[in-house]
Amino acid sequence: MLYDAVRHANELRTGRPAQRLSLIVKLVERIELGAEDIRIRTSTSRLAATFDLEAASDAKSEPIDLTCPSTKVWHGRQLRLVIPGPVARAQLGHRDLKLINLIREAHAARRLAIVNPDKTISDLARMSGRCRNRLARYLKVSSLAPDIVTAILQGRQPIGFSITQLLGANLPLCWQEQRRLLGFA
């Protein structure tokens, strides 16, 4: 029995796709993707049949529900499901250089605005060689809560947090609202 369980576990980890699919079909009754988790339903009878266990003739099949937190992450045009584990934890510590450069550019734009208080955004954009709309977005980003900036610099931003998300956000001035809006709360 234990040998079968180890063999099946190895099949799930390293087996050919057809082997894995066959085993999953035997074990899993239903899979549900929630907003923040994945739920897998199996049963005692499915486990008994898969692992060649003898069930008592009068035994009733009991459902077994497994729930695991998950996050949906966009990579380009692909949606991926990330289930926290050693690899996901390593990604949490990944410093995103694009985000860091955006923070740097945003603070440079802020310094430019502070040094030239009499200039309009259009004037500042011309001076810096940037698009007026982009410069305005940089100025918004320069007002990020300090703990959000620190988290980004240390690579502790939420999984999937991107430069596109930050530039596209309608950032409130209230830091607590920023944390909630951007997923840092």
- For residue range 131-153, list pLDDT tens digits in order: 999 999 999 999 999 999 999 98
In a domain, 86, yes or no: no
Residues 106 and 176 in one domain: yes
What integer pLDDT is reported at residue 55 of this predicted model?
Answer: 64
CB burial of 142-175 (b: ≥16 within 10 Å; e: otherwise) equals: bebbeebbebbeeebbebbbbbebbeeeebeeee
C-alpha span between 10 and 14 (Å, rounded) = 6
Residues 58 and 134 in one domain: no
In a domain, 164, yes or no: yes
Sequence-distant (≥ 6) Cβ neighbours of residue 134 within 8 angstroms: 125
Q: Which of 19, 34, 69 is the last residue of a domain?
A: 69
Q: How many CB atoms lie within 10 A of CB 136?
A: 15
Residues 111 and 151 in one domain: yes
Least confident of 15-19, 26-30, 76-80, 104-108: 76-80
Contact 70, 36 (CB under 8 A): yes
Residues 55 and 108 in one domain: no
In a domain, 102, yes or no: yes
What integer pLDDT is reported at residue 74 of this predicted model?
Answer: 66
Number of domains in the chain: 2
C-alpha span between 128 and 122 (Å, rounded) = 10
In a domain, 50, yes or no: yes
Residues 96 and 178 in one domain: yes
Q: Which of 54, 69, 84 is the last residue of a domain?
A: 69
Residues 110 and 38 in one domain: no
C-alpha span between 117 and 101 (Å, rounded) = 24
In a domain, 150, yes or no: yes
Q: Which of 35, 69, 103 is the last residue of a domain?
A: 69
What integer pLDDT is reported at residue 87 of this predicted model?
Answer: 55
Mean pLDDT over residues 159-182, rounded?
Answer: 92
Mean pLDDT over residues 154-167, rounded?
Answer: 89
Tokens at 133, concatenated: 């709309």
Question: What residues make up the domain containing 54?
Answer: 2-69
In a domain, 74, yes or no: no
In a domain, 43, yes or no: yes
In a domain, 79, yes or no: no
What integer pLDDT is reported at residue 79 of this predicted model?
Answer: 74
Q: Residue 17 carries which side chain, given as an amino acid letter?
A: P
